[in-house]
Amino acid sequence: MSDPATTTPRAARPAAHASRRPLAAAALAELQARFGPQCSVARAVREHHGRDESPLDVPPPDAVVYAHSHEDVVDAVRIAARHGVPLIPFGAGSSLEGHVLAVDGGMSLDLTRLDRVLRIEPEDLTATVQAGVSRLALNDALRGSGLFFPIDPGADATLGGMCATGASGTNAVRYGTMRENVLALTAVTAAGETIHTGTRARKSSAGYDLTRLLVGSEGTLAVITEVTLRLHPLPEAMSAALCHFPDVAAAVRTASLVIQSGIPIARCELLDALAVRAVNRHSHLALRESPLLLMEFHGSAAAVREQAESVQAIATEEGGGGFEWAVHPEERTRLWQARHMAYFAMLQLRPGSRSVTTDVCVPISRLAECIERTREDLDASSLETAIIGHVGDGNFHVLILVDPDDAAERARAEAANDRLTERALALGGTCTGEHGIGLHKMRFLARERDPATLAVMRALKRALDPGNILNPGKILPPPAGDV
Amino acid sequence: MSDPATTTPRAARPAAHASRRPLAAAALAELQARFGPQCSVARAVREHHGRDESPLDVPPPDAVVYAHSHEDVVDAVRIAARHGVPLIPFGAGSSLEGHVLAVDGGMSLDLTRLDRVLRIEPEDLTATVQAGVSRLALNDALRGSGLFFPIDPGADATLGGMCATGASGTNAVRYGTMRENVLALTAVTAAGETIHTGTRARKSSAGYDLTRLLVGSEGTLAVITEVTLRLHPLPEAMSAALCHFPDVAAAVRTASLVIQSGIPIARCELLDALAVRAVNRHSHLALRESPLLLMEFHGSAAAVREQAESVQAIATEEGGGGFEWAVHPEERTRLWQARHMAYFAMLQLRPGSRSVTTDVCVPISRLAECIERTREDLDASSLETAIIGHVGDGNFHVLILVDPDDAAERARAEAANDRLTERALALGGTCTGEHGIGLHKMRFLARERDPATLAVMRALKRALDPGNILNPGKILPPPAGDV
């Protein structure tokens, strides 16, 4: 859910982490000597690397280095280490929580030129790519192989970035998240050493699981340069279905029952009424403006038919109706258009607005309650909001439209975000199902995890990055507690 | 594959780690004052906790403490920390590579009394158990819920131990390993602090993935006391099939093609001819003594039928025949008896023998080659061996029968183990798919991972256990390199 369009209003960054370490002249000289034109201090370049899709406003990095090779990454990290300069890995810039902002200054290390698909081994269902390859580029390279890489966070993010944030998205309910689909990584430590985690074997119990430690570490423990991924056979058949419900609770109950029944649904997305209205206006559609589930089924032709029938029976019991089915690719695309356009469409509901975009994830039995109470809260707040979710996983997003020049409205949006997080945590959930912590959710991580657990995370950071040069000021709130 | 029957010959432990820290009188007095009869120094008790199913012979721990509660674990760890005494978490004692041996002395902390199933949340498909609950006890508790916990390493291991070793087994090809099925952990750090990792939500991107760091850490980073697991709906239908092949290569090619076709097979086990012969003699069966695949299919009745038909078509192409099918539970049990009895049966082939049991995992396209070359090597070694494997994952085991009193034969078995590992690594695999490193495979980990990657693992260990009290001398070979 990191569509580039979900930009959000700029707000002052939390002050607690201010420990700016600007790039000293000596460090810059060394970077320029080593990297020549691959190192830029141009304002436009720095500003491009000084923002993501978060609502935070932070000065840009002092320099940007474009890595063209693993060795470039090694040398950039070594220069950063020698001079104690922050280094922030940068991919597509599509993160939503301030992951790539140069909060302490320093250099942004752009990895998008590491864009080679290194190996595809169809018989092993694996591919190895450089970190800057995007998920769509990988799927292009897989065309004709009968295989695909399913993880789809919305944006055409880089696979290195998707590892770093532990991305997931619409297909995760069936295929898992990045955690379940990364087999091995090559990365550069804060000391500039190259490490290799995992192998191409489907499983391993050989020592500490460094692969899973780096997945979700948001560039704070090492810089990922190569990724070995699990691929999946393209299903023999796919079908999509759209189903309307009288209310959000009925739609969510349907999703829960589908999961509890063990039906291997491939996608199960909720759009609430406002999101449907936005899509109708944006794409000149005439969908009924009630909550809907968009679903997809993968498997053999018979299995897909059977799954679809089972789900239709459950949905009908819950008051679902107005089914539309699609088997052919163009028909499926038409149905999914509603989902894909939701972010763009929301912004157009109110010209000039931005969207504060957040996510939580709760145990599936608490999802209906969490969404209903969130809907009541949002309605009472008089904010313009939509709820969209990967409800098969218990994961949903709230989009809150705000006027970027209206500080009071922005504050109300942040307050609603706070209440949403408290609600999710109280229901046994997490403050982020897939967006990550970055800068913006550090205060939420401090509520989700007790001090002893945060202390362990800090110990890991200190052990692997004693100079605090790798993406400093992210994930871990200062030991005092709430940021 | 940690059946209690796969005992192996005792051999001298590697000397490189000798840094014995016996329990000082003051520490023992403190343990006895705190734990009373829960603390034992009886020889029989210590010896029971001084061995697992590995071939290594190590003096027993100096004391055994039985934890009855999380608080007992906290206090035991604090006493160990205060006195700098090694503490080794102990569950079922079914590990195969020396994980629980008191190589540096100290206390064994028996967790089997932490045996309460704390919560089952059927709607969320989750359960939370104390670390000492065994997998069969959990499945007993789940009876009638329509759910089950699929991970099955053979032995009735404790779930805490299965987390610690990153266990998997026959069902992993469909349901994943412990890594994919643990949502959250409660654990005690080396400082005696309680940490909580993960939540009951199906996914999270909230900070470093401490859950996955502890899974597979073999008790060296923290002591796991509670485990929250993903459960799975019992499939509507199950069927099992047995199929004979002219040679191991044809059986392995069949397994590879099934995986590459995306057929969601639930189990896919290879027994080679010697294993079948052993089973025939042990269980008075009359199976054809040729390599066979034992398979299981889970899903709706129609899906199971369809999967079975697809697999039969592939197997027939590869020369497979003599199919036997089983749908009813008793029939399935009869077919699986061959698999379940293989270890016992192997030992009975040669009375008085022990089995050296090892495992590797390779990319699926290299599995046939790896197994064929291993079979040639073993045949040339004149050792009595069987190959049994979770071939759908590229994971297989070699059982080598040895006379425990024949040092030369034991040495030949170890040499074959070395060559097997080198072969698996050269083919892009790992030195252990599921048994873990423990004490016995440290020299293999040093070959699989480069020094920089091992240094990162050591840095994690130092960060979380600076006093080196938690299961010391395991996983990480001394920095010099090969043990």
Per-residue model confidence (pLDDT) at position A285: 85
Length in residues, chain A:
483
Convert the pLDDT of each residue in A266-285 to its tens digit: 999 999 998 999 989 888 88
Most B CBs within 10 Å: which of A70, A185, A203, A231, as the mutation test of the B interface?
A203
Strand A117-121 with A126-130, pairing: antiparallel
Provide the mean pLDDT of chain B: 92
Convert the pLDDT of each residue in B23-59 to its tens digit: 889 999 999 999 999 999 999 999 999 988 877 789 9
Contact B208 A216 (CB under 8 A): yes
B167 chain-A contacts, CB cut-off 8 A: 205
**Choice among A245-254, A287-296, A396-405, B343-352 with the minimum mean pLDDT:** B343-352
Convert the pLDDT of each residue in B67-96 to its tens digit: 999 999 999 999 999 999 999 999 999 998
B259 chain-A contacts, CB cut-off 8 A: 125
Chain A residue closest to B361 (CA)? Answer: A201
Contact B196 A453 (CB under 8 A): yes
Share of chain B above pLDDT 70, in %: 95
Per-residue model confidence (pLDDT) at position A343: 80
Q: Which residue has the higher pLDDT, B34 or B334?
A: B34
Contact A464 B457 (CB under 8 A): no
Contact A205 B434 (CB under 8 A): yes
The CATH-assigned architecture of domain B235-335 is 2-Layer Sandwich (3.30)
Q: Which residue has the higher pLDDT, A32 or A356?
A: A32
Per-residue model confidence (pLDDT) at position A190: 98
Is residue A160 within 8 A of residue A91, CB to CB? The reply is yes
Strand B321-326 with B354-361, pairing: unpaired
Per-residue model confidence (pLDDT) at position B12: 37
Per-residue model confidence (pLDDT) at position A396: 96
Q: Which residue has the higher pLDDT, B98 or B10?
A: B98
3-state secondary structure of B333: helix
Per-residue model confidence (pLDDT) at position A18: 54
Contact A203 B395 (CB under 8 A): yes
pLDDT band at A336 (very low <50, low <70, confident <90, very high): confident
Q: What are phi and psi of A88, to 5 degrees?
A: -120, 110
A221 chain-B contacts, CB cut-off 8 A: 208
Residue ranges matching CATH 3.40.462.10 in chain A: 239-426
Is the sign of the CA dihedral B302, B308, B312, B315 positive or negative?
A: positive
DSSP A126: E
User: Region A244-249: what's the mean pLDDT?
Assistant: 94
Among B176, B180, B448, whose Cβ lies nearest the Cβ of A206?
A: B448
Q: What is the dihedral of CA B345, B347, B352, B354, to 10 degrees?
A: -170
3-state secondary structure of B149: coil
A123 chain-B contacts, CB cut-off 8 A: 256, 260, 364-365
Share of chain A above pLDDT 90, in %: 80
Per-residue model confidence (pLDDT) at position B480: 64
Task: Calculate the CA B244 to chain-centre distance.
Answer: 27
Chain B residue closest to A180 (CA)? Answer: B180
Q: What is the side-by-side order of every strand in the sheet holding B63-66?
A: B39-40, B63-66, B107-110, B87-90
A to B CB pairs, distance under 8 Å = 282
Other C-beta atoms within 10 Å of A36: how many? 8
Convert the pLDDT of each residue in A161-214 to its tens digit: 999 999 999 999 999 999 999 999 999 999 999 999 999 999 999 999 999 999
Convert the pLDDT of each residue in B92-122 to its tens digit: 999 989 999 999 999 999 999 999 999 999 9
Convert the pLDDT of each residue in A32-76 to its tens digit: 999 999 999 999 999 999 988 877 788 999 999 999 999 999 999
Top-tier CATH class for A239-426: alpha beta
Residue ranges matching CATH 3.30.43.10 in chain B: 11-110
Q: Is the pLDDT of residue B16 over 60?
A: no
Nearest to A69 by CA among A152, A186, A155, A178: A186
Chain B residue closest to A196 (CA)? Answer: B453
pTM: 0.94
Does the domain spanning A11-110 belong to CATH 3.40.50.620? no
Q: Is the pLDDT of residue A483 over 80?
A: no
Burial string for A10-24 (b: 16+ CB within 10 Å, else e) reads: ebebbeebeeebbbe
The CATH-assigned architecture of domain A117-233 is 2-Layer Sandwich (3.30)
Q: Is the pLDDT of residue A11 over 50?
A: no
Give the list of residues 6+ apart from residue A463 with CB closer than 8 angstroms, or none: B459, B460, B462, B463
Give the separation between CA B408 and CA B432, rounded to whole angstroms: 25
Give the list of residues 6+ apart from residue B71 with CB closer than 8 angstroms, or none: none
Q: What is the dihedral of CA B380, B386, B390, B392, to 10 degrees?
A: 50
Element (H, E) at B437: none
Length in residues, chain B:
483
Angstroms from A44 CA to nearest CA on chain B? 31
Provide the mean pLDDT of chain A: 92
Angstroms from A288 CA to nearest CA on chain B? 30
A182 chain-B contacts, CB cut-off 8 A: none
**Burial, B481: exposed, middle or buried (Cβ in 10 Å; 0-12, 13-18, 19+)?**
exposed
Residue ranges matching CATH 3.30.465.10 in chain B: 117-233
**Choice among B70-79, B146-155, B280-289 with the minimum mean pLDDT:** B280-289
Is residue B301 within 8 A of residue B257, CB to CB? The reply is no
User: Which amino acid is located at B77 in the chain?
Assistant: V
Per-residue model confidence (pLDDT) at position B164: 97
Give the list of residues 6+ apart from residue B335 with CB closer than 8 angstroms, or none: B240, B241, B242, B294, B324, B326
Per-residue model confidence (pLDDT) at position B336: 85
Angstroms from A133 CA to nearest CA on chain B? 22
Q: Is the pLDDT of residue B13 over 80?
A: no
Tokens of A211: 């692969």
Element (H, E) at B226: strand B223-230
What interface predicted TM-score (ipTM) does this complex get? 0.94
Among A126, A166, A460, whose Cβ lies nearest the Cβ of B460?
A: A460
Q: What are phi and psi of B224, to 5 degrees?
A: -75, 130
Convert the pLDDT of each residue in A105-127 to its tens digit: 999 999 999 999 999 999 999 99
Give the separation between CA A291 and CA A387, rounded to whole angstroms: 10
Residue ranges matching CATH 3.30.70.2190 in chain B: 235-335
A441 chain-B contacts, CB cut-off 8 A: 206
User: Region B265-289: what's the mean pLDDT?
Assistant: 91
